[in-house]
Structure 1
Amino acid sequence: MPSTSVSEQPVTRNGAALLSLDDVSIQFGGLKALDGVSFDVREGEILGLIGPNGAGKTTCFNVMTGVYQPTSGEVRFAGEPLGRRKRFAITRLGIARTFQNIRLFGNMTALENVLVGADAHHRTNVIDALVRSPRHRREEREGEETAREVMKFLGLERRADELARNLSYGEQRRLEIARAMATKPRLLCLDEPAAGFNPAEKAQLMDLIRRIRDVRGLTVLLIEHDMGLVMGVSDRVAVLEFGRKIAEGAPVDVRNDPAVIAAYLGTEADDAGEFDQEGDL
């Protein structure tokens, strides 16, 4: 993980809503995975989306990124309804994501994996590629510049020619983030990026997420089970349980919310006390 001097606590951001879920529900057969969920992700903030296993967090990500279509309600990005847009079109609008389970092309180099992301905005067609038209060559050159610059930001520049499968687990996690960032998003959605990390790696990841927001100017939506990471890096936190939003607000307020404590610990707040800030969700 690249070194960083960022150590300050996140500050509250009051930007306009970049992404909005408005009364979103989605049903699979008799199962209601999301039930009237509404919240905003504000421009320039880090929003943590948490909840017990099965709460609907990843389903939220999938609705935002076009994997699923909501049964009812609406998702808007920069004020524009996403409607039934395809996933590639949503990526071009400016939403990128990583996955809970790493999804890299193991037999491609690290650079080639990131180039897949950089290709998201390319407009050349097969004929342009076959004849290597000036536009195709220009887009190839610009894509590689973008990919290498993002890899440098994430401390992966020396691994560019390594096969993705040969990278360490932590490097593969960062490579997924690099591929997402190469699409030039406005909103970066991270699905459990600290899974499998030790405490030192989690601390480095917190600094990296802050740098992505503060240096790159991206808005970040974060799903994560580690309480210390979520509470330490998020400006605001939204909590789901059984597909419903049960709390939203500043990390300190959410951590002490009786409904959140009951959802995670299965007991009343008076009996449970306050969450351990270093514990897992």
Structure 2
Amino acid sequence: MPEATVAAQPGVREGAALLSVDDVSIQFGGLKALDGVSFDVRQGEILSLIGPNGAGKTTCFNVMTGVYQPTSGEVRFAGQPLGRRKRFAITRLGIARTFQNIRLFGNMTALENVLVGADAHHRTNILDALVRSPRHRREEREGEETAREVMEFLGLEKRADELARNLSYGDQRRLEIARAMATRPKLLCLDEPAAGFNPAEKEQLMELIRRIRDRGLTVLLIEHDMSLVMGVSDRVAVLEFGRKIAEGLPAEVRNDPAVIAAYLGTDADDEGES
């Protein structure tokens, strides 16, 4: 699979903001799920978005990937406002995601699931498919090459012809990452990828996330497992009750009194004094 590079995003340089969340708020009835949240995801980094249950992490993911529209504020990708773009258009721009609850097509093979992601950039229409036009055949061939290369990268090549529902839990998690990577993203958003993993699997996941970053992708991670977050992240942003309360290097965030208070339920002032 061709490596994702910054060259496809004009105006973005190594270490510059690839995605910017600027003063974003979203309200559902009387509930303010996000309240003036701002942070950048820099080109080539692994940024983790953490916080207690109900902090607004997945809501933030959903705003960035077009599932929800913000009540106010703006999300920009490579300098372009996402505005009211459809989800498929956001995928084509270069943002892909996985889900906290695995969403695979259980009655399709592993390869077919990944091909769904590879199809994201196809331009052929129904007529092309019906007449098997040269362009359709070329895109089919290129899509399968991409899908198989991604599966090999994730160690799933021997599972290509198995039904997704028959894969082990860990392989299903990797398959969902493979499908997202097959869209050829610049930014890969992983929502709780370590959920249900044992310690050995979490170590393998940390190595995989680093390898994904080393291929040229930028990674945004939601994760509850603090050992994984602190072990793999370049920077960490923290949400609580829909507001950002901290951002910085893992060691800085881990020792931040406001973060300690959010997770332990202590008073931030008392924690700072102690």
Q: TM-score scaled to structure 2, two decimals? A: 0.93
Aligned amino acid, residue 199 of structure 1: P
Aligned position for 1:170: 170
Aligned position for 2:220: 221
Aligned position for 1:252: 251
Aligned length: 260
Gaps of 5+ in 1: 1-12, 274-281
Aligned amino acid, residue 213 of structure 1: R
Aligned amino acid, residue 81 of structure 2: P
Aligned amino acid, residue 185 of structure 2: P
Q: Aligned in 2, Cα 1:26/1:46: closer, same or farther, shift over 3 Å?
A: same
- The answer to whether the 8 A contact 1:265-1:272 is kept is no
Q: How far did residue 272 of structure 1 move? A: 6.3
Could you give the per-residue CA deviations for residues 215-257 of structure 1, whole angstroms, max 9, x where no partner exists? Answer: x110000000000000100000000000000000000000000
- The answer to whether the 8 A contact 2:110-2:162 is kept is yes
Q: How far did residue 207 of structure 1 move? A: 0.3
Aligned position for 2:180: 180
Q: How far did residue 205 of structure 1 move? A: 0.2
Q: Aligned partners of 2:271 and 2:234: how far apart in 1?
A: 25
Q: How far did residue 14 of structure 1 move? A: 7.0
Could you give the per-residue CA deviations for residues 145-167 of structure 1, whole angstroms, max 9, x where no partner exists? Answer: 00000000000000000000000
Gaps of 5+ in 2: 1-12
Aligned amino acid, residue 235 of structure 2: R
Q: Aligned in 2, Cα 1:235/1:157: closer, same or farther, shift over 3 Å?
A: same
2:73 aligns to what SS in structure 1?
strand
Aligned amino acid, residue 136 of structure 1: H
- Alignment root-mean-square deviation, CA: 1.3
Q: Aligned in 2, Cα 1:238/1:14: closer, same or farther, shift over 3 Å?
A: farther
Q: What does residue range 123-272 of structure 1 map to in structure 2 within 5 Å?
A: 123-214=123-214, 216-268=215-267
Q: How far did residue 268 of structure 1 move? A: 3.6
Aligned position for 1:42: 42
2:138 aligns to what SS in structure 1?
helix
- The answer to whether the 8 A contact 1:49-1:237 is kept is yes
2:112 aligns to what SS in structure 1?
helix
Q: Aligned partners of 1:16 and 1:266: how far apart in 2?
A: 35
Aligned amino acid, residue 46 of structure 1: I
Q: Aligned partners of 1:19 and 1:32: how far apart in 2?
A: 23
Q: TM-score scaled to structure 1, two decimals? A: 0.91
Q: Aligned in 2, Cα 1:267/1:75: closer, same or farther, shift over 3 Å?
A: same
- The answer to whether the 8 A contact 2:257-2:271 is kept is no
